[in-house]
Amino acid sequence: MATIEDVAKYAGLSRTTVSRVINNQPYVCDEKRERVFHAMQELGYVPNSSARRLRNQKTETIAIVLPRITNPFYSKLVEVMEKKASWWGYQVIICQTYHCAQKELHYLELLRKKQVDGLVMVAIQNEWTKVEEYIHAGPIVICNESIEEANTVIVGIDQQQAAYDATVHLIEQGCRRLAFISGEENSNLVQARYTGYMKALQEHHIPSMDDPIFHEAVDVESGQTILGKVVHMNNRIDGIFAGCDEVAAGIVYAAMKQGIRVPEDLAVVGFHNDTISRLMNPAITTIEVPIVEMAEKSIEQLIRSIEQPLRNKRESYQFAHTLLKRDSTNKRITVPM
Amino acid sequence: MATIEDVAKYAGLSRTTVSRVINNQPYVCDEKRERVFHAMQELGYVPNSSARRLRNQKTETIAIVLPRITNPFYSKLVEVMEKKASWWGYQVIICQTYHCAQKELHYLELLRKKQVDGLVMVAIQNEWTKVEEYIHAGPIVICNESIEEANTVIVGIDQQQAAYDATVHLIEQGCRRLAFISGEENSNLVQARYTGYMKALQEHHIPSMDDPIFHEAVDVESGQTILGKVVHMNNRIDGIFAGCDEVAAGIVYAAMKQGIRVPEDLAVVGFHNDTISRLMNPAITTIEVPIVEMAEKSIEQLIRSIEQPLRNKRESYQFAHTLLKRDSTNKRITVPM
DNA sequence: TTGTAAGCGTTATCAC
DNA sequence: GTGATAACGCTTACAA
């Protein structure tokens, strides 16, 4: 591989001049500039990224930390984030934690190793205090999580309100024996939603059918499994708030298989408005989240923090969600074919 | 940020000794090793990745080039690849081309800039000859594409055979007016499948209903759109081979909406066995692809090529696919509730 | 066993 | 305008 030195020699000039041309700085006469271009062409020269990173103390790379990329919600966030980051000239490293705190810390180390200039956390596995320690190693943006005490940029929606809205909707549809189904019992995200859910229940004087088994649901399969358990409970549940559309879809699918009618016997609300919620039959009522806006804002703010490091100040961007009412909760009207 | 120099000074030792401890090499007595550990602890030292990369001429990073991460097939591939790569201590950069050849070249440059040690291409947008030029800058593994002339590692299934199997199945179910629907008309992948599709048609003396509009289908929406067009064609199509399950799902969904019965009026086969194909009602017949095996093999081979650079030799790993027969093609039996 | 010093490929500073 | 030269932080001959 040709180095800047080789180019300089070939062109009969100094490394400095070549460097100036590469970074198209002024103070190089046209003739020499041309000679440099020619030499670069001839030698097939490409600036070495590692050397640049070392010299400039900048990697132009960011990391996105998330549970698993196959969850459509995360994958959509990543799609938009990568696009945006790429537009700004940044590479994106993807970091799957599989909900493992240890793995998350491993990826956070990227910041201390200076392997990335900053990172976005979509979901958080560790105590915030643990994560916070990394913030002095580089900017961290939190996307879609609710950490009250985080002194950093935090982008998301009002999770509590969203869960409240969904739950009230279930109640208005006539549901009286509700269940709250989610992943990651102790995450802040789930806590916030649970608070909203309970608030709705209390306001309507409805007891919760909540149960520990309902806290491990992260995909279609777990949705199916949970429906199996729900069926065997004494007090037949008639309304479910699910933490994501995959789980909701699994529930609806399994319900139909078992002859449990949705929404007549069981109404279901999901979260995120993933494609699947729209395509299921019946279509699943869900909370629409402004993914594109959230993703873009996250990247925008992360890059701003990278390029002009200043504060460690909380900065919160909250976007609006929407309850999309579909057939999986529509007890009033017969589902049209 | 503390450097190795700082640690050395603090411990009253040389950079060399510290380096030895960091890379746990021999020839450091326990006492000094301990002193180094202590100093590192005390100063919160973390080795600088950029410096290491420059010195070692190695990045321990790979790139995955694909169209869009939101396609569940790609996202599943990436999930497994990242997991495997991470296990080997490699970071993964994700590169979305959006089917744009220019963007692909931009990402291939990562190899020449030495920003990654190697890359996996899932789908290819440029002429192979164009891509081939990058191969001397670092190893490239091709996953799920069929490039006959590629002298590199290539992992996949027999696309032609898979399309053939799917088409024969449609014909056996009684379909006589078939259509082939795919993205990327001129990709090698689509060409291979089309060959298999046509082979099945010819063997059964059936003319193709093929049409140019059927070559832009990459997601659910395009599937829906295409169904709209199919409906208005003179010669009513009764069987569709779709290049991926998203498109198939869009078609099935739109068909049901319009009162076209699947499979009675229109049978549909998809590709990849994505979750959605299983959850749709009717469930969609599809080609199951051994994603995990393909992804793992790709990473395995890429890392092998990185760690012991040798040949530019073609090396092909072909896995078995399976036709999963489901209700979207089951014309014989009434769909059970 | 330990340390000295060279060098990985850049870019910024400063002198000419 | 142009070019030495000194870093950036690390590893590895080679010496001691």
Higher confidence at residue B300 or residue B185? Answer: B300
Q: How far apart are the C-alpha atoms of A71 and A82, rounded to whole Å?
A: 16
Residues in chain B within 8 Å Cβ distance of A115: 49-50, 91
Q: What is the pLDDT of residue B212?
A: 62
Q: Are residues A96 and A25 in the same domain?
A: no
CB A314 within 8 A of CB A150: yes
Q: What percent of chain A has pLDDT over 70?
A: 96
Query: What does pTM read for this prediction?
Result: 0.95
Is B333 part of any domain? no
Q: Are residues A75 and A140 in the same domain?
A: yes
**Both structure tokens of B208:** 């193709």
Residues in chain A within 8 Å Cβ distance of B79: 68-70, 96
Q: How far apart are the C-alpha atoms of B32 and B43, rounded to whole Å?
A: 16
Amino acid occupying residue B94: I
Q: What is the pLDDT of residue B336?
A: 46
Distances (CA, A) of A309 to A111, A305, B154: 14, 5, 44
Q: What is the pLDDT of residue A74?
A: 97
pLDDT band at A213 (very low <50, low <70, confident <90, very high): low
Distances (CA, A) of B279 to A217, A255, A278, B10, B331: 17, 12, 12, 62, 19
Helices (H), chain A: 4-11, 15-22, 30-43, 49-56, 72-87, 101-112, 128-132, 159-172, 188-203, 220-231, 245-257, 275-279, 291-307
Residues in chain B within 8 Å Cβ distance of A82: 69, 94-96
Separation in Å: C5 C1' and A120 CA: 41
Structural domain ending residue among the three candidates A20, A37, A54: A54
Range A205-209 average pLDDT: 85
pLDDT band at B213 (very low <50, low <70, confident <90, very high): low
Is A307 part of any domain? yes
Q: Are residues B163 and B284 in the same domain?
A: yes
Q: Are residues A192 and A219 in the same domain?
A: yes
Question: What is the CATH number for A249?
Answer: 3.40.50.2300
Bridge partners of A178, per DSSP, are A208, A239
Q: What is the largest CA-CA distance in chain A?
A: 87
Amino acid occupying residue A8: A
pLDDT(A306) > 70 = yes
Nearest protein residue, CA measured to C1' of D11: B55
Is B216 part of any domain? yes
**What are the tens digits of pLDDT across the range B88-118?**
999 999 999 999 999 999 999 999 999 999 9
Is B332 part of any domain? no
Q: Does A312 touch chain B (CB under 8 A)?
A: no
Q: What is the largest CA-CA distance in chain B?
A: 87
The C-alpha of B148 sits at a distance from chain A's nearest C-alpha, in angstroms, of 28
pLDDT band at B170 (very low <50, low <70, confident <90, very high): very high
DSSP state, residue B24: T
Q: How far apart are the C-alpha atoms of B61 and B122, rounded to whole Å?
A: 17
- Structural domain range at position A12: 4-54
**What are the tens digits of pLDDT across the range B244-286?**
999 999 999 999 999 999 999 999 999 999 999 999 999 999 9
Q: What is the pLDDT of residue A185?
A: 66
Q: Are residues A104 and A195 in the same domain?
A: no
Contact A78 B94 (CB under 8 A): yes
Residues in chain B within 8 Å Cβ distance of A249: 279
pLDDT(A267) > 80 = yes
Q: What is the pLDDT of residue B229?
A: 86
Mean pLDDT taken over chain B: 93
- Could you list the beta-strand ranges (E) of B106-197: 118-122, 140-143, 153-157, 178-181
CB A287 within 8 A of CB A271: yes
**Both structure tokens of B111:** 């190899």
CB A32 within 8 A of CB A8: no
* Nearest-nucleotide field for B31 (CA, C1'): C1
The C-alpha of B66 sits at a distance from chain A's nearest C-alpha, in angstroms, of 11
CB A144 within 8 A of CB A122: yes
Q: Are residues A149 and A171 in the same domain?
A: no
**Which positions of chain C lie under 7 Å from any protein Cβ?**
1-13
pLDDT band at B39 (very low <50, low <70, confident <90, very high): very high
Question: Mind giving me the DSSP string for B297-334?
Answer: HHHHHHHHHHHS------EEEEE--EEE--GGG--SSP
**What are the tens digits of pLDDT across the range A65-105?**
999 999 999 999 999 999 999 999 999 999 999 999 999 99
Q: What percent of chain A has pLDDT over 90?
A: 81
pLDDT(A146) > 90 = no
Q: Are residues A48 and A71 in the same domain?
A: no
Question: What is the CATH number for B27?
Answer: 1.10.260.40
Q: Are residues B129 and B99 in the same domain?
A: yes
pLDDT band at B234 (very low <50, low <70, confident <90, very high): low
Helices (H), A204-244: 220-231
Closest CA to B295 of B68, B72, B79: B79
Q: What is the pLDDT of residue B337?
A: 44
CB B286 within 8 A of CB B271: yes
**What are the tens digits of pLDDT across the range A317-328?**
999 999 999 999
CB A274 within 8 A of CB A245: yes
CB A170 within 8 A of CB A164: no
Spatial strand order in the sheet of A315-319 = A315-319, A153-157, A140-143, A118-122, A61-66, A91-96, B91-96, B61-66, B118-122, B140-143, B153-157, B315-319
pLDDT(A283) > 70 = yes
- Mutation target among B68, B77, B91 for the A interface, most CBs of A within 10 A: B91
Higher confidence at residue B155 or residue A148? Answer: B155
- Could you list the beta-strand ranges (E) of B124-262: 140-143, 153-157, 178-181, 239-242
pLDDT(B162) > 50 = yes
Question: How many domains is chain B partitioned into structurally?
Answer: 3
Is A328 part of any domain? no
For the range A182-185, what are the long-range contacts, defined as Cβ-Cβ under 8 Å and sequence gap of 24 or more?
Answer: A182/A214, A182/A215, A182/A217, A182/A242, A182/A243, A183/A99, A183/A215, A183/A216, A183/A217, A183/A218, A183/A243, A183/A244, A183/A247, A184/A99, A184/A123, A184/A215, A184/A218, A185/A212, A185/A215
Quick one: CA torsion of B222, B244, B122, A106, rounded to 10 degrees? 90
DSSP state, residue B335: P
**What are the tens digits of pLDDT across the range A249-263?**
999 999 999 999 999
Q: Are residues B183 and B144 in the same domain?
A: no
pLDDT band at A210 (very low <50, low <70, confident <90, very high): low
Q: Are residues B212 and B250 in the same domain?
A: yes
Is B185 part of any domain? yes
pLDDT band at A336 (very low <50, low <70, confident <90, very high): very low
Q: Are residues B106 and B147 in the same domain?
A: yes
Is A326 part of any domain? no
Q: How far apart are the C-alpha atoms of A99 and B181, rounded to whole Å?
A: 38
CB B247 within 8 A of CB B72: no
CB A120 within 8 A of CB A95: no
Is A327 part of any domain? no
Q: What percent of chain B has pLDDT over 70?
A: 96
Q: Are residues A31 and A112 in the same domain?
A: no
Which 3 state secondary structure label does DSSP give A120? strand
CB A117 within 8 A of CB A56: no
Closest CA to A244 of A205, A273, A201, A203: A273
Residues 279-298 of B with CB under 8 A from A: 279-281
Higher confidence at residue B154 or residue B209? Answer: B154
pLDDT band at B42 (very low <50, low <70, confident <90, very high): very high
